[in-house]
Amino acid sequence: MFKQSTASRSLDDEGPDPPEQFTAIKLSDTRIALKSGYGKYLGINSDGLVIGRSDAIGSREQWEPVFQDGKIALMAANSCFVSYNDDGDIVAKKKAAGDEEMIKIRSCAEREAKTKEGIPDEDLGNVKNCEINYVKKFQSFQDRKLRVNEGASASLKKARIEGHFHETLLDRRAKMKADRYCK
């Protein structure tokens, strides 16, 4: 779990045995519980030693993954980070996460591809296509002609990066006076 020298057979090519596998259970947006292959939950005792004897999830069985610079550390219920001591025991005793507290997690679950859910179809594509899509959606055109601002799209690119893309689109439409609903 921490250094290759202290890890068990789980770093072999065969993969871990069922008792060496843990299931992460999401408790909230920031907290998880870890269930061992024996059906027990990992927690900490009063000395900060990580143990796996609990049948239910209590406050001592809650963990918080902390992500920083592409690495992960696991914070226990006592607000200390998981590491190992000189005896090879897994403990949670350090208040700050250093290199010794960074862990690697392997998973057999498939990675979910980041989807663009929640992004309207009109926002997909380059900025010029987005502007055309929004004009088609909102412009009232009685003469069946599409009126799009012929100005440079550099301001739209800048606005998309800065986070005020839709406001800039609305301003461009208002300047053309082609859409009575944009004022």
pLDDT of res. 141: 64
Please give the pLDDT value at position 4. Answer: 43
Quote the pLDDT of residue 177: 63
CA distance 91 to 76: 9
Range list of β-strands (E), the chain? 23-26, 32-35, 41-44, 50-54, 64-68, 71-75, 81-84, 90-94, 102-103
Beta strand 102-103 with 90-94 is: unpaired
pLDDT for residue 13: 58
- CA separation for the pair 6, 34 (Å, rounded): 20
Q: How far is CA 114 from CA 25, 26, 117, 118, 149, in A?
A: 21, 19, 9, 12, 33
pLDDT (tens, 9 = 90+) of the chain, 183 residues, equals 444 444 444 444 577 777 778 899 999 999 999 999 889 999 999 999 999 999 999 999 999 999 988 889 999 999 999 998 999 899 999 999 988 899 888 877 777 776 666 777 677 777 788 887 777 777 666 667 777 777 777 888 888 888 888 888 888 777 776 555 555
Token pair for 140 = 């009232």
Whole-number pLDDT of residue 70: 85
Instruction: List the alpha helices (DSSP H) in the chain.
Output: 127-138, 154-162, 165-176
Task: Note the pLDDT of residue 7.
Answer: 43
- 90, 94, 99, 117 from 47: Cα distances, Å: 11, 12, 22, 45
